[in-house]
Each structure stands twice: as structure tokens, then as C-alpha cells.
Amino acid sequence: MEKLHFAIIGCGRIAERHAEIINRVGNLISVCDIKAERAKLFSEKYNCPSFNDLNSLLNSKEKIDIISICTPNYLHCEQSILALNSERHALCEKPMALSVDECKKMIDASKSNDKKLFIVKQNRFNPPIETLKKLILDGTLGKIIGADVNCFWNRNEQYYSSSDWKGKKKLDGGTLFTQFSHFIDLVYWLVGDVVKTNAIGKNFLKKDLIEFEDSGVAILEFKNGAIGSLSYTVNSFGKNMEGSITIFGEKGTVKVGGQYLNVLEYQNIEGKKIEGLQESRPANDYGFYQGSMSNHDKVYQNVIEVMQGKSEIAANANDGLKTVELIEMIYKSMQENLL
């Protein structure tokens, strides 16, 4: 099979990571960004044409198999649908969208055009997370009774002031959408649906920078009967402190932590010991801050295997919807607790 042909919409920081990998595993055919100079510099670096209008890219005669959506959160739904309606497959960065309704529209477009919709959930490929998922699936941990998540990161004034969309409610969505949707995804992926939440959020230190909470706490009740908690902030002083998830089962307890869910911090399992884990990748480094694990190469490997008929989608559109659904539940609870 010849290499797949890709286009990228949005030429910001995360697009750099996409382009580097595409150039290794496929062909980057074109890029698009409404900021002409940024698109031009990006296209020169990766030796491909650039567009400043999405419709122009979609109507171009270049062969494009898959379009990678690397734009701000609020554009994911609209642009994914345009890509799918142009009879291309789409790979959408997190979060899938800013509402469940938007997610459903994207899924409908994927089905009606018979095109695949991939969602970027690269933390699922972190070696300790992959191992934890296997332990849950094969019953090694027994019945899961609890899951506690800690997300203690730092996002400073420069992070928000250097962006024309981050921190704005209608464009960004909130801290759980932009910073911690990967953690929300893993809660669902590892334990299952959440049926009830009780949450509170506050803006302590960033009232002049963002239009929503900078910290929050949520209690979670899962469909399978387990209970859990989510505690998060972007106010960890000076730098990221921790990104962790602890799973409590009747036959074992496992904590995956570090700053980015990249370290097996604790294990105590009946009759088993986790050994020989592959070393985790470094975090995505954006200069003055760091994000989640840099596993986008595994995301693209899955895309290629799916297109070759050798694998299932690692994170499908329903997974993306479930993440947004849980975030909506938490934010609704926060609003109710403010009344």
C-alpha cells in the first residue's frame, strides 16, 4: 500500500508534532491556517503548499486521504464535518468538540459519508497506562471499586496571554477541555461510564486571564458501582507537579503518576508484579510549558493500520463523545452548586 496523503488544518504548536510524524509515515500534501504568515512559514518548513482558506484546500485537486484537525477547540466540530463532507477521513485533536451535540453531528457526518473519524487520545499509549488497562480487562485487579485522579499543572500568564482563544469560554470551553480532557478520557476508558457527579470549581488566581475555573474537585459515581474523585488545578506553583490516576480493585491497587501519567508509582497486586515496562516518551514540550506524553507517532501508526484493515480505531468518535459527555456532567454540577 502506498503512503497515505495528509493535510493539516491549523499550523500552531501541536501541528508541528503532527507534521514531523506525517513526514515519516506518510506524505504531507498541504497545510492551512487563516494566519497567512504562519501558514507560509509552516509550508516552507515542510515543503508543501499552504492555504489560508479551508474551502480552497478542500477543493484543491491534490489527493488527500486524511485531514488532521489541529485548530482551537471551538473549530473542531465545524472543520471535521467539512473534511468528512469532502469525502476525506478526519483525525481530530482533543477535545473532540465543546458539546455532546457537536460530537453527535460529527459522528453523523462520518457515517453519512462512510468516512472514518479518529480522535487523538495519545495518553492511552503510555506504557504504564496500557499495562493498567490490560490488568483491568483480564480481571487481575478483580472488581474495580475506585478511581482517583490528580491533575496538578501550571499554566502561567504567558500561556493565556499569548493565545487569542485560550481562556475564553466560548472558544476554549474550560480547563477540563483544554488541559485535562486526556485524564477524563482515561477515567472512562479504564472504569466505564459515570452516572453521577458532584463538583465544585473556582477561579482563584486567574480572574484577569480566563473566564472559567482554574481549579476544581469532582466526586464520581460509575455505572459499575465504583466511586472516584477528580482533583485538578493549573495553579501548581512554577511548574507541573503531577498527573496521576490510582485504580483500586478488590485484588490490587495501582497508581500511574509522574507529571504526565508516565511513571508506575505504586503497585500491590495479588499474585503479580508489573515488571519490564517500556520507558515512557518525553512530554510534548512547547517552550514555556509542557503538555501530555508525546505519543502521536502511535496515534498515526494506528491510523495507518486501520486504513490497511489491520486494526480497529484506538480512540473512536464515541470515545471522544464520552469524554465530552463527562466534562459536561461535571460542569453542570459545578453550575448547580453555585446556585
Neighbours of 52 (CB within 10 A): 15
Do residues 75 and 92 lie in contact, with contact meaning Cβ atoms separated by under 8 Å? no
According to DSSP, residue 213 is labeled -
In this prediction, residue 121 carries a pLDDT of 96
Do residues 226 and 146 lie in contact, with contact meaning Cβ atoms separated by under 8 Å? yes
Residue 30's DSSP bridge partners are 7
List b or e across 240-270, with b for residues whose CB sees 16 or more CB atoms inside 10 angstroms.
bbbbbbbbbbeebebbbbbbbbbbbeebebe
CA distances 27 to 48, 67, 156, Å, are 10, 12, 36
Neighbours of 44 (CB within 10 A): 10
For domain 5-122, the CATH superfamily is NAD(P)-binding Rossmann-like Domain (3.40.50.720)
In this prediction, residue 61 carries a pLDDT of 84
219 contact partners, CB below 8 Å, separation of at least 6: 197, 198, 199, 227, 228, 229
Nearest to 325 by CA among 166, 168, 188, 186: 188
Do residues 160 and 96 lie in contact, with contact meaning Cβ atoms separated by under 8 Å? no
CATH number listed for the domain at residues 124-292+317-338: 3.30.360.10
Provide the residue ranges of all domains of the chain, joining segments of one domain with +.
Answer: 5-122, 124-292+317-338
Sheet holding 263-269, edge to edge: 194-202, 215-222, 227-233, 144-152, 242-249, 252-257, 263-269
Length of the chain: 339
CA distance linking residue 11 with residue 223, whole number of Å: 40
What confidence tens digit (pLDDT) does each residue in 281-328 have? 565 555 554 555 579 999 999 999 999 999 999 999 999 999 999 999
Residue with cell 512554577: 238
pLDDT in tens, the chain (339 residues): 689 999 999 999 999 999 999 999 999 999 999 999 999 999 999 999 999 999 999 999 889 999 999 999 999 999 999 999 999 999 999 999 999 999 999 999 999 999 999 999 999 999 999 999 999 999 999 999 999 999 999 999 999 999 999 999 999 999 999 999 999 999 999 999 999 999 999 999 999 999 999 999 999 999 999 999 999 999 999 999 999 999 999 999 999 999 889 899 999 999 999 999 987 656 555 555 455 557 999 999 999 999 999 999 999 999 999 999 999 999 999 999 986
The count of C-alpha atoms lying within 13 angstroms of the C-alpha of 13, restricted to the half-sphere facing its C-beta, is: 13
Q: Which triple of cell numbers denotes residue 313?
A: 480505531
Do residues 35 and 12 lie in contact, with contact meaning Cβ atoms separated by under 8 Å? no
CA distance linking residue 277 with residue 263, whole number of Å: 10
The stretches of the chain forming alpha helices (DSSP H) are: 13-25, 36-46, 54-58, 76-85, 100-113, 127-137, 157-161, 169-172, 175-178, 181-191, 296-307, 317-338
Neighbours of 60 (CB within 10 A): 15
Phi-psi region of 117 (alpha: psi -120 to 50; beta: other; left: phi over 0): beta
In this prediction, residue 290 carries a pLDDT of 53
Q: Letter for the amino acid at 68?
A: S
Same fold, 5-122 and 124-292+317-338: no
